[in-house]
Structure formats: structure tokens, C-alpha cells
Chains A and B, each alone.
Chain A
């Protein structure tokens, strides 16, 4: 597992995205899937960041497996943080990740997304 924490700020999303892409390459995902994953990480962050407490951190966990990368992004949110599921960000995240899961607990919101290597028939 790889963990990283960055300030919960838009400026650091690209770091997360690059890390995800780099790790995805190790998991043997295709270039297209890596591209999807980058976008999905972007969307997950843009869903989370509006809910993050001022000056808090965005924690990311990456679980690597052959042909599969799981990314969890978590922010602490005093407001509880109901994610905007009507916007494009949610639609795009759902369409690009192989699976998405949202959990709210103990004053934090977590989005867990998985990108899997698809069978060649797509």
C-alpha cells in the first residue's frame, strides 16, 4: 500500500493524479485506463475538496494489485459533507472508474475508486 497526504487544496490534485498514474503503470493498467484513472482521481478530488475543513489534509491511499489499482481519497469534514451527486463530476467518476464507493464516518468523507484492467473485448 502507498499512502500520501497533501493539503486539501486544488493545487495538489495534480500530484495525486500523477502518483495515481505512476502506480497504475506498475499495476499493468493500459494507457487508456491510466488516462481514465487520472480523470477519475480529478473528479473524486473535485467532489471532496468543497467539503474539506479549512487547512486540513487530503489523505490518499493506493492499494496495488496486478491489473487493479484502488485509490481512496479522504478529507475531514466537520459539515458531514453530502457529495453532489447531480453534477458532472459524479457522472464522470462513475463512468470512468470500475467501481466507486463513498463512505461518511467520524467527520470524514472517503471516496474509494477502483480501476481494473478490462478484458480485451471491452
Chain B
């Protein structure tokens, strides 16, 4: 995890200067220019060591390194396209959260990392089997290091899963009730907290909102966060109300698509 990095993983001052120059150039060029595509490729190549460095940070989690590098590279490309050289920020500083965001999203999509309870749950079966095997082989309970080596998951994850195991075998309180008692009516029991779902959705939503084109994002925020009417927004942004209406619709559609949600049946396609 924290081994010394190979010397190639080091962005020297030259490389940084190259990157700054290329990014400035790239943002001068029109989107369809072939020179722009070439610059973009060169920038991607220049920063791949950063992607590899970041991906390696997650290599203990049972995901193939190639996949992590690949999703990281998507983050890098997004960062290159969105980077604004005029803001005077170091590109690698700007790109790091974007690359990490993409890697984290990959874990979330595959059900790992962020969705801790589920990951821990999935680990349970493997962990229990390994625990039984190792106990037999060793004649004593295995250590976390031994478990982690056996199931090829890093130690933190094993500790987490062990914690979850404790919760997993928890006994519902209503077992304690005497027969005939209507315990589930008790306010302490059996309430589904809908807040969690909301928090999760909000977190997901935040990610995709950030990726919307700026005009759509601004208008959606005005509409749904600031609760402005379309007419008010039109006045603020300086476009027609029809245009606002179109942008809201397009923005929502894009959000649904990024979240993998189907369009509502009432909405017209196309």
C-alpha cells in the first residue's frame, strides 16, 4: 500500500511544464480540430502514471488492476476536457479528485467500496469459509493478516467485514417478546428508515449533476434547489422561458440516463 513508488511514477518539473503548455493550447482549439485530438492523446499519455498511481491505491480490493486503470483513464479524459487553464490551478491537483471519483464510481457500480454494508455482506460467505478452513489448518483461529492473505482482500476490508459479522448475527428484539405480545408496534422496532435511501440517492445525484453541461446544471439548480419558476429563471439567466423549459427537460433526461433510470412513461421520447 505505501511502498516506495518506482521512479517512473514521478512527474518532474519538465513534464508539468509540458502539460501546462499543452492544456493551454488544447483549450484554444475548436472541439473538432484534429490537432486537439492529438494533444488530448498526448496529455492522456503524459498523465497515465498518475492514473496508475491512484489505481494502485485501490488494488487491495479484489478488482483487476486493468479495470481500475481504465476507469481512472476515463476520469483523466474528463479532467482534461473540463480543465480551465485560466484558473491557474495545477492540472494534476485538478485531475486527482476526478480520477478518484471515477474509480470510486466503478466500485459503487460493481457494488463495492462505497456500499459498505453490501460489500461486507458479500465478503461474509468467503470470510466464513476461509475462517473455518484456516482454523482447521492452523489449529487456532486465524489472524486478520492470514484471513486477508487467504481471501485476497486487504486487511481493512477484513476488519470491516468482521465488524459487520457481529451485526449480521444480531437477533431481532421482538424475539424477546412473550408470545401474544404485539411488540412490533413498539416505536423502537421494525421501522424502515427511508432517510438512508434518500441520502444515498442524493450522493449519487450529486455526482451526475456535477457532470451536466453548465447551462443545464445552473438551470436545474435554480429550478429545484432555489425553487424558482421557469419565468423567474428566464429573467435571471437572460433566455426565454421556452428555452428554460427545454433545458430543464433536457437536464432531467440526462440525469435519468446517467442514473440508469427509465424515462417516466408520460414523457415524450426524442
Chain A residues with a Cβ under 8 A of chain B? 10, 13-14, 17-18, 21, 30-32, 35-36, 38-39, 42, 45-46, 49-50, 86-89, 91-92, 94-96, 120-122
Contact = CB atoms under 8 A, between A and B. Distances in A.
A120 B210 CA distance: 11
A13 B1 contact: yes
Nearest to B50: A88
Nearest to B13: A86
Interface residues of B, number: 34
Contacts of B2: 10, 13, 42, 45-46, 49
B10 A35 contact: no
Contact of B203 (A32, A42, A49): A32
Tell me the dominant secondary structure on chain B's binding face.
Answer: helix
Contacts, number: 76
A87 B93 contact: no
Contacts of A88: 5, 9-11, 49-50, 53-54, 92
A42 B53 CA distance: 13
Contacts of B57: 39, 42
A39 B100 contact: yes
B108 to A, nearest CB: 10
A95 to B, nearest CB: 4
Interface of B: 1-5, 9-13, 49-50, 53-54, 57, 90, 92-94, 96-97, 100, 104, 113-114, 116, 155-156, 159, 202-203, 206, 210, 221
21 contacts: A14-B1, A14-B156, A18-B159, A31-B116, A32-B203, A38-B156, A46-B4, A86-B11, A87-B5, A87-B11, A88-B9, A88-B49, A88-B92, A91-B11, A91-B93, A92-B53, A95-B94, A95-B97, A96-B100, A120-B202, A120-B206
A17 B57 CA distance: 13
Contacts of B210: 122
Given A45-B2, A86-B12, 19 more contacts: A14-B156, A17-B156, A32-B114, A32-B203, A35-B113, A35-B114, A39-B57, A42-B1, A42-B57, A49-B2, A87-B11, A88-B5, A88-B11, A91-B11, A91-B90, A95-B93, A95-B97, A120-B202, A122-B210
Contact of B96 (A46, A92, A121, A122): A92
Contacts of B11: 86-88, 91
